Structure 1
């Protein structure tokens, strides 16, 4: 194989993008080298990284959080700056590699340390901790850094074996399905009524999964007509347009004032999050999926007054299980989902195509999932 590979680099807030050529790495102890086949764009987090709101993923894993980005881009003082931690984040987050979703083929495996074969499950069950792979395996990547590139260096815990029943394009959505399924599994029970705020890629995945987990009635909200139609196709019983309808009043009418027992927030914007206390039924289970990076004015006290339980994607994937186990569960669900309808754009792996697709995403065009395919 060639000695070098291409990868996209984001130089700073707003760009520019640069196509970098780097030496193909040799996997070290505990590492796996994956030749990428398909990489997908995460509309919200990737766009917000370009805008300087979301920490780049290779810095997020080093504990960078949204207020660090506000300080970095000079968006202080703001209404919260007097309570920010005093210590500044020690690294410059740009330039950064991009891409944390996708799939590929294992081409090399480094020496593996002695695996930890079992660990104690909170409910007394023993589970395998270290997944095993071989060269030639097709794997979905679950949060791996640098997916906008022809090769990725990763670890077994971030790989999920892909069966022949899934195409490469379908398998590129392993990570988003995994993170959404962790929330849905915690929040949705048989015969629940479920409200899903937002029908972008994650919201549409949540709609399909809520149906698979046995929801009785699914209500969704979405301002884009094309996405509202997909929402109906994927199982939504009622689809509301927030540009035409007061969502709180509509839910009040639909539920005769009780509110919703399950709310899944997938839009990741303040306008949807601030409504949640008034949409919630007493003892409501709230799943937070959208990656909002802006401060939100909300009635926090309703967690107390209504006894709301709030969970998020990281809890669903890391508590009482392993990433590999969550990934296996996601793959089983993916075999029962319509993933092809989510892929709306197929891109050339170029700077020009990258700049154009993010312009379309920012302008609220009909982009659900855009993917790069590597030769």
Structure 2
């Protein structure tokens, strides 16, 4: 049993709350899949002690299905996830199934790692999975569409992975400023500039090696192929609402040999890698948290997160 200390609000939490995402969600359910806390009951597990500060990988794959056996446990259809099928972190306490403990989903925090940082390991894990799908690496020119918390995590990680140049498009001036702070080289206001034209101008007419769609707006999926170079890779990273559809330029995909891929969730390997990055100080994720609310003001926290005035909203259980 974990006493939750910090849980952060994800865009998926808002979509579930608003009824725009229903697949895989048990109703009624306590939301929250990004959280950390301390152990109040070990359940007899000798490897843990009451008071241990821990982070938690929220995905519990079955380990037996075809997808799990082929190394795609993030796509497991038989597994469980905190905040979806299992009550999540927007609560005082969370019960952790023995299966999750056995699988190594619970990680002790080093003394230097805060609960807020530990809560942000989950979204960073998803971002890591997304960048692996498009093989983002050294010397790539990267365009990130959307500078919300996920887009900013993409900036941080792309820089760490050796991207040569990072361009970010977002209509929100505060978020464009944050993108520069997080390491973007160029920011673009799509309300006053032609994004494709600006990307071509910044890349000698070539386009981006990697385009990451970090906001769930269907029209932006179509735009992403316009921003990619010949042989470029496009990640439709953000989740879209149920029923959303988008047109794609199939000739551009075919003749320019563009790879388009999705990226869903995280594996335990992603979680462990992201955890170690944060624990070692290689990535400063704490700077994402701009607003904090007590547990009893969770509804207000959701409002602020949905408004776009904050970057990352945290809920504290003191």
1:296 aligns with 2:246: yes
Q: Is the 8 A contact 2:233 2:258 kept in 1?
A: yes
Contact residue 261 and residue 281 of structure 1 kept, 8 A? yes
In structure 1, the gaps of 5 or more residues are 1-32, 62-92, 113-131
Deviations, residues 317-365 of structure 1 (Å, cap 9, x unaligned): 44xxxx0x32221023222222232111110211xx233233333333x
Give the Å deviation of 1:40.
Answer: 0.6
Count of residues in correspondence between the two structures: 280
Aligned partner of residue 95 in structure 2, secondary structure: strand
- Asked if residue 369 in structure 1 is aligned to residue 318 in structure 2, the reply is no
State how far apart, in whole Å, the 1-side matches of 2:47 and 2:249 are: 48
Deviations 1:149-193 (CA, angstroms, capped at 9, x unpaired): 111122234333322221112211110111112222443111111
Aligned partner of 2:24 among 46, 51, 60: 60
CA distance in 2, matches of 1:47, 1:340: 21
Within 5 A, what are the aligned runs for 1:220-239? 220-239=168-187
Counterpart in 1 of 2:8?
Answer: 40
Distance (Å, rounded) in 1 between the aligned partners of 2:110 and 2:250: 44
**Aligned residue number for residue 129 of structure 2:** 182
Identify the residue that residue 275 of structure 2 maps to in structure 1.
331
Which aligned pairs between 1:168-179 and structure 2 lie closer than 5 A? 168-179=115-126
CA contact (8 A) 1:140 1:175 kept: no
Compute the RMSD of aligned alpha carbons: 2.2
Describe the shift of the 1:111–1:313 C-alpha distance in structure 2 as closer, same or farther (beyond 3 A): farther
Q: Is the CA contact 2:237–2:264 (under 8 Å) kept in the aligned structure 1?
A: no
Distance 2:253 2:41 in 1: 49
- Could you tell me how far apart the structure 1 residues matched to 2:312 and 2:130 are? 20
Please say if 1:194 is aligned against 2:158: no
Q: Determine helix, strand or coil for the equivalent of 2:303.
A: helix
CA contact (8 A) 2:35 2:55 kept: yes
- Conserved? CA contact 2:5–2:317, under 8 Å: yes
Structure 2 Cα separation of the partners of residues 161 and 302 of structure 1 = 47
- Considering Cα pairs closer than 8 Å and 6+ residues apart, tell me whether 1 or 2 has the greater RCO: 2
Deviation of 1:300 (Å): 4.4
Moved over 6 A (4+): none
Q: Which has the larger radius of gyration?
A: 1
Residues 269-314 of structure 1, C-alpha deviations (whole Å, 9 max, x = no match): 1232220111111221222321112222222454433322334444
Q: CA deviation at 1:197?
A: 0.8
Q: Distance in 1 between matches of 2:7 and 2:304?
A: 18
